[in-house]
Structure 1
Amino acid sequence: MHITRRRPDTRQGPAENFTGTVWLDELAAPPAPSRLRLFNVHFAPGAHTAWHRHPHGQVLHVLEGEGLVQRRGGAVEAIRAGDTVWIEPDEWHWHGAAPRTFMTHLAVVEAAEDGTTTEWHAHVDDYPA
């Protein structure tokens, strides 16, 4: 057993992967052989990810606020505190806060064998206003 008492500092989501102000807290990244990664992600109103996908999928659990999520070719879906979203492996998607509210979610991913967790793509062109 290992108890982590000090996490890495909160960091801002990079502009090449996010639109608007997003803050990331890494909560867990256990050593190998584990490939689990757990983040607490805080989105300002209207902030959201670019299109991206994960080799082993992703679980999002909304802790507070309201947000939006969309898979490529699908409808934009509203998500709220208490909702959990399963995103399939290699499914292109984006997610973030609704236009007028903050949103915080836990994001759980499993790294690929080469250590990558995310493949990033273009910014979202038609984010709902």
Structure 2
Amino acid sequence: MKILKLTMLLLAMGTTQAFAQGAPIFPKGEKAPNVNHVGNVWLYEVHAPDSTFNYGISVATFDPGARLNWHQHPGGQILMIMEGVGYYQEKGKPRQTIRKGDVVKCSPGVVHWHGASPESGVTYLSTTPAQNGKTVWLEKLTEQEYFGGK
């Protein structure tokens, strides 16, 4: 709960003028190398884990059709969808459509993927505890899985 409150505070810290004009609160960040995903993804680290706050906060921006490979987070992850339309799917469960304003809780150790829909990019703010280790990358997401097949 503390992580969510801090994250919401960080979101609220964006300037009123920028927010009113529809400008992004955070910069787009650096384009990520296509190692564990398909398409263009940009990452901006809002907060790196440190000795006081042992979790990271990042913004990820996906072009339409961009998506991550299957992976898991040993400590879990929370995604707060800030813009666009995307997908989230846990292994063995149906794919979910996610939209601006949605909050997705990725439970610790649960294999899943997330990314943008084919028609829309998606941007989310993520909080990830660091105490249990980094993201564990697994197999590549297939086209059939991405488009809703099994």
TM-score, structure 2 as length reference: 0.75
Whole-Å separation in 1 of the counterparts to 2:131 and 2:111: 16
Task: Say whether 1:118 aligns with 2:135.
Answer: yes
What stretches of structure 1 move > 6 A for 4+ residues in a row? none
Q: CA deviation at 1:10?
A: 2.3
SS at match of 2:60: strand
Per the alignment, residue 55 of structure 1 pairs with: 74
SS at match of 1:117: coil
RMSD (Å) for aligned C-alpha atoms:
2.0
SS at match of 1:62: strand
Q: CA deviation at 1:30?
A: 4.0
Q: CA deviation at 1:16?
A: 1.7
List per-residue Cα deviations over 1:35-58 (Å, max 9, x = no partner).
210010000001011111001101
Of Structure 1 and Structure 2, the greater strand share is in 1
Looking at both structures, which has the greater relative contact order when contacts are Cα pairs under 8 Å and sequence separation is at least 6? 1
Whole-Å separation in 1 of the counterparts to 2:49 and 2:121: 29
Per the alignment, residue 83 of structure 1 pairs with: 102
TM-score, structure 1 as length reference: 0.86
Of Structure 1 and Structure 2, the greater helix share is in 2
Segments of structure 2 that go 5 or more residues without pairing to the other structure are 1-25
Q: CA deviation at 1:14?
A: 2.6
The structure whose Rg is larger is: 2
Count of residues in Structure 1 that have an aligned counterpart in Structure 2: 121
